[in-house]
Amino acid sequence: MGLFNLFGKSRPILDQEKITSRAFVQVQELIKPASIAQLSETKPSGRATASRFSGDFVLVPEQAWPSYQNRPLQAFLQINVAELPFVPVPLRPYKLITVFIDEQDIPFDKPHGQGWQVNCYTSLEGLKLAENPISSPSIKPCEISWQLAQDEAPAWEDAITAVDLSEFDTLSNAGDVFYERFTNHEFTKVGGWPSLIQHQLTMSPADFVLQIGSEVKANWQWVDAGTVYLGWHGGKWLLECQCY
């Protein structure tokens, strides 16, 4: 009887290990690389084309600072593509990307050009640093260095639709075990998987290109510690936002 009880008690543990192992093999196949933004608190280098979070951004001389409804848009992210350790396919034709968004009226569901704008440059030649026209910005400009992450996994909501985790989901501690094993970076990054806050994005994970997070070092948050996501589909930029 004692031996029977021993095996009876150990079997659920072994089953849980097998279920977890099978789930992890599936999720491991979804891993993607990403470039993770590291905001610097040191004095900016002054390099016009450096990657940066907010501040003065580059434009071509004849280009006006982006605006919407007669209000200048805030400069949020400038990406020097050569500085990225991993470059998503939609960004590979370009040398520099800039992202401008209306900080007063965040365009949660508006098309490109209405409250937000992405500029893509195929050359760095002729680009000039333009002064940010927002006179009293609440954001602290920071230059960015990029760190390669080889282990970007989907958030739980994306994972369960990409592969069959129904068996794993029956475990009482499935969520805790999942996030102990897999990494999904929050804050600002290029590539990888979106770091979800509420639910899956409307855009497909395959269309996701980058996200701009709420950054403490830059003294900025989207509403309540939110995140802005940008994607590329059918030759058009997409934008979504989630917050707590």
pLDDT tens digits for range 3-46? 334 444 444 655 889 999 999 999 999 999 999 999 998 767 77
pTM of the model: 0.91
Query: Would you list the domain boundaries of the chain?
Result: 2-242
CB 208 within 8 A of CB 231: yes
How does DSSP assign the chain, residue by residue? -HHHHHHHHHHHHHHHHHHHHHHHHHHHTT-EEEEEEEE--SPP---TTS-EESS-EEE-TTPPPPEETTEEPEEEEEEEGGG-SS--GGGTT-SEEEEEE-SSS--TTPPTTSSEEEEEES--TT-EEE----SS-SSPPEEEEEEEEEEE---HHHHHHHS--HHHHTSTTHHHHHHHH-B---SSEEES----SSS--SS-GGGEEEEEE-BTTTTB-BTTTBEEEEEEETTEEEEEEE--
Higher per-residue pLDDT: 53 or 104: 53
Cα–Cα distances in angstroms (integers) from residue 126 to residues 59, 66, 96, 161, in the given order:
8, 18, 12, 45
Percent above pLDDT 90 for the chain: 85
pLDDT at 10: 45
Contact 190, 34 (CB under 8 A): yes
**pLDDT the model gives residue 236:** 96
Residue 135 pLDDT class (50, 70, 90 cuts): confident
Contact criterion met (CB below 8 Å) for 98 and 124: no
56-112 confidence digits (pLDDT tens): 999 999 999 999 999 999 999 999 999 999 999 999 999 999 999 999 899 988 999
At 14 the pLDDT is 57
Q: Which CATH architecture best describes the domain 2-242?
A: Roll (2.30)
Q: Are 168 and 16 in contact (CB under 8 A)?
A: no
